[in-house]
Amino acid sequence: MRIRLIVASLALTLLAGNAAADQCPALLQHELPKLRSKETIDLCQQFQGKALVVVNTASFCGFAPQFKGLEELYQRYKDEGLEVLGVPSDDFFQESDDAAETAEVCYVNYGVTFPMAQTQPVRGGDATPLFKELAEQAGGAPRWNFYKYVVDRNGKVVDYFSSKVEPDDPELIAAVEKALGK
């Protein structure tokens, strides 16, 4: 009898785990390698049920000072359920080949505390699955560094913004608040 209870309990646990995985939006059913780490970022585990700003970054881009604004945006709304994910990319030839240098720019020079992935392709056939899904939902892939995709708690793109739109722009803030359900 006791063995049957244990087996039944394990079966329910497995079913519940599969149900939780099934509830994760397609956009988040990916992993990315974390910057300067052997760990990965499990997008479902870290971001499911949260609003998210995904931005393709580059350390040597003229828009790199936006890291500061992205960090301020993250700090302003993180307690309300906002996450920011930075994804360095060399698609526009402005990212270092050295992950340590990329990490120094993000973490030391700009004080970034939000998650950063290792350098990934973000456009075309080689784009990481996350960016393929973002481009499909938004109707456009990044045309340059620091494109910002605002995603709601259900994994749907609310809006996206070009490099020229600063993180404190009222339209971007309105999209973030919409994604948060405000």
- Condensed to tens digits (0 to 9), the pLDDT of residues 104-141 reads 999 999 999 999 999 999 999 999 999 999 999 999 99
pLDDT at 8: 46
pLDDT at 22: 61
Q: What is the pTM of this model?
A: 0.88
Q: In the structure encoding, which two tokens stand for residue 42, read together?
A: 């499990």
Residuewise pLDDT in 10s, the chain (182 residues): 545 544 444 444 444 444 444 689 999 999 999 999 999 999 999 999 999 999 999 999 999 999 999 999 999 999 999 999 999 999 999 999 999 999 999 999 999 999 999 999 999 999 999 999 999 999 999 999 999 999 999 999 999 999 999 999 999 999 999 999 98
- Condensed to tens digits (0 to 9), the pLDDT of residues 8-23 reads 444 444 444 444 446 8
pLDDT at 76: 98
Active-site residue set: 61
pLDDT at 1: 53
In degrees to the nearest 10, what's the CA dihedral of 119, 123, 125, 131?
A: 70
pLDDT at 182: 85
State which fold the 25-180 domain adopts: Glutaredoxin (3.40.30)
Domain ranges of the chain: 25-180
Amino acid at 95: E
pLDDT at 20: 47
Q: Could you tell me the CA-to-CA distances from 104 to 30, 107, 155 in Å, in that order? A: 26, 5, 30
Nearest to 180 by CA among 85, 81, 73: 81
